[in-house]
Every structure is written in C-alpha cells, then in structure tokens.
Amino acid sequence: MTKSLKDRFTELQAERARTWSAEQLERNAAQRRELARRHDPATLPRAGDVIAPFRLIDQDGGELTRDQLLAEGPAVLVFFRFGGCPACNIALPYYNETLWPALREHGIPLVAVSAQIPVDRALIERHQLGFTVASDPGYALARDLGITFLPEEQPEVAPGQEWIGSTLGTFSYEIDQPAVLVLGKDAKVLFFEASPDWLQRTDSETILSALASQGTSLGHFGEPLDVQSSL
C-alpha cells in the first residue's frame, strides 16, 4: 500500500526529533505555528472564482501560460517552497507516485510551481519527476492567489552570503506557501487549498476527488476519475 503524505511527514519529524536540538525543533515549529495563526482562508480564491491569465517559465525555459494549460481541459497546479526544501522533496515525489499517473491517463496537466528561478533541475532529476516544474517570475501568480509570506526574521545579508533569496534567485525573503489549485477549462477554480504549515499538505485523494466531482466537465477525457483505483 502506498504510504500517505501524512505518514511521510511524520517520518521526517521523527528523524528531526532524533537529530535536531530542542532549540532547532522549537524554532521550526514556532515558524509553522505563526504562519497557521496568520492564515485567513477567507482571503483566498474560492470555487467558481476566475483566475486571471498568468505566465510561468518551465524547466526548459519555455513559456507556459494559463490558456496553454487549459487548452484541452482542466489543469492542476501544486505550489511548493523551493527545490532544497526537505518537505517539498517528500511532497513532490508523493504526487509523482499517487497523482500524476491518474492525471496523465486523463490528459490533465500537472505543474509544480515555485518562485525559484530558474527551476532547480536537480529536484526533477533526483526524483525522476514526470510532470512539469515551473517558475513563477516575480511571484506574480502566487501573489495574486495570496499564498506568499515573509518570515518574521529577515536578518541582514553580507555580500556573497548564501541565503534563501539567493537560493530562490529572487533575492527576497518572500516564499510561497504550499498550495493546490485545480482549474477548469474556463479558468474557474474547481478546488483551492493553501497549507501555511508546510508539514500539512493536500493529499492526492482530495485532489482527485475534486476532479471527480466535476465529472461532466471531464467527459472528453474518458470515464470519470476513479479515485480509489488511482491511489
């Protein structure tokens, strides 16, 4: 049986409990608690909202627009923090195993999106990801969706020092929260969920269920998605 996303994150936390200091553990937990405290779902897109045109840059440097993604029907976008994020290196392989096969069978694009530019190709190669990974230049789409955040601590950076802004290629402390956006062919939101605590993310069954609930709009992909057989 495929291991759940929750179980995979539980294993990550157990490893950290064994190897991290109490101070490191509490600092990480405090950051996630603060983001959860600030989270306001009422400010986020809702089902039926239309998402304005956007432009992403894929792993090969090509342009990927909203209308290109939706040319044949719905699309799924999974937002992640950055290529070196340990939790993202658990979530994206999970989606590759449990979500991508069902979407590919029905001709539905899956794109993993972060602000990191250019795309971290090592992430794709490390996990043999079959779906597209793309950059969101200038945080444009993530900001429109309301899923970026700035950490409480933003220390001064010395010249040449490695920091999150240089890793992202944005030279900013701003980071995307993990989120899932399912768009219909008409660019309306079918499902949206943001995860301020990056160790709690949307599982594949929830995403597939959201698509299955729109069975009439999936008619030209064949039979409606069978959620249970896809996992």
User: Rounded to the nearest 5 degrees, what angle is found at the Cα of 180, between the Cα atoms of 139 and 153?
Assistant: 50
Q: What is the mean pLDDT of the chain?
A: 92
Number of domains in the chain: 1
**pLDDT at site 160:** 81
E strand or H helix that includes residue 39? none
Q: What pLDDT shows up at residue 23?
A: 96
What is the sign, positive or negative, of the torsion defined by CA atoms of 161, 20, 200, 4? Answer: positive
Is residue 218 packed enough to be buried (19+ CB in 10 Å), middle (13-18) or exposed (0-12)?
A: buried
Q: Are 76 and 186 in contact (CB under 8 A)?
A: no
Tell me the pairing of strands 75-79 and 179-183.
antiparallel
Residue 22 CA to residue 17 CA, distance in Å, equals 8
Q: Is the pLDDT of residue 227 over 80?
A: no
Could you tell me if residue 220 is inside a domain?
Answer: no
pLDDT category of residue 2 using cuts at 50, 70 and 90: confident
Q: pTM above the 0.85 mark?
A: yes
Q: How far apart are CA 20 and CA 43, in angstroms?
A: 35
Angstrom distance (rounded) from CA 108 to CA 110: 7
pLDDT of residue 179: 98
Query: 174 or 228: which carries more pLDDT confidence?
Result: 174
Query: Has residue 204 got a pLDDT over 50?
Result: yes
The CATH number of the domain holding residue 174 is: 3.40.30.10
Query: What average pLDDT score do residues 125-151 get?
Result: 97
Residue 33 in domain: yes
**Domain-embedded: residue 228:** no
Q: Is residue 227 part of a domain?
A: no
